[in-house]
Amino acid sequence: MACLAWLLLASMGLIITNDAQIFFCGADPTDGFTAVPLSDQNFEIEWPYNLPRSDRYSYVDGVHKFWVYSTDKPLRPDSATKPRSELRIRGYDYSSGVWQFEGYGFVPNGTTGTSVMQIHRFSPSTVLMLKVYDAQLRFYTRQVVESDIYDRWMRINVIHDVDANKLAVYVDGVRRLETDGNGASLFDFKCGVYTQTEPSHYMESRWRDIRVLKKD
């Protein structure tokens, strides 16, 4: 009914989207997918090597909380990467088929210059990064995926069709991005905070109800 009402209003010219794009009502992004079983063994946490894990990550009442400072160390002494507190999905690396990450993400006001979700690969290192810059969720630094993201939970679905070399991002059930991938590799999903350019001193994101799904 909500979808029908939206279409009726749109037909009368009573709805205008912020970016002059119309996103039509459609099926849920998880339709046609089956969730794979996940346990604590599938959640690999990465954090600054010189600190206890509990100094940069917590899991309370079903919520994964990740935080890091721009002055923190990398995840290993021999790593040249920037500070991070991230969850990597272990045991479901993939190189073919259609896979999906689903989770509810929350970014507090003030966090900027960080990746909060990525599809990691070996070379180049990613095929997708969702970065936060000044209350916007962006595809890398280029395209705005969602605005006004601070201090609210968002349902985020990321679909990767490896064989077709296509990616799609949904926010709260609405497709906000469709783009090409960058070729074949071995891929895995990650979420949390991973420092990027022009970061805030303190960066945080929270995630709950994380799922991985595979196309039927």
pLDDT at 20 over 70: no
Count up the domains in the chain and report the number: 1
pLDDT digits (tens, 9 = 90+) for 64-113: 999 999 999 999 999 999 999 999 999 999 999 999 999 999 999 999 99
Q: Does residue 20 belong to any structural domain of this protein?
A: no
pLDDT band at 9 (very low <50, low <70, confident <90, very high): very low
Nearest to 177 by CA among 213, 138, 127: 138
Burial class (CB in 10 A: 0-12, 13-18, 19+), 57: buried
Q: Does residue 12 belong to any structural domain of this protein?
A: no
Burial class (CB in 10 A: 0-12, 13-18, 19+), 68: buried
Q: Does residue 112 belong to any structural domain of this protein?
A: yes
Q: What is the pTM of this model?
A: 0.88
Q: Does residue 5 belong to any structural domain of this protein?
A: no
Structural domain boundaries, residue 157: 27-215
User: Which pair of tokens denotes residue 216?
Assistant: 């039927």
Nearest to 158 by CA among 139, 182, 134, 135: 139
Identify the H or E element spanning 18.
none
Q: Does residue 17 belong to any structural domain of this protein?
A: no
Q: Does residue 15 belong to any structural domain of this protein?
A: no
CATH number of the domain bearing residue 68: 2.60.120.200
Q: Does residue 37 belong to any structural domain of this protein?
A: yes
Q: Does residue 39 belong to any structural domain of this protein?
A: yes
DSSP E strand stretches across the chain: 33-35, 43-46, 57-60, 63-69, 84-89, 98-106, 114-120, 126-133, 136-139, 143-146, 153-161, 166-171, 174-180, 188-195, 202-215
pLDDT digits (tens, 9 = 90+) for 105-163: 999 999 999 999 999 998 789 999 999 999 999 999 989 999 999 999 999 999 999 99
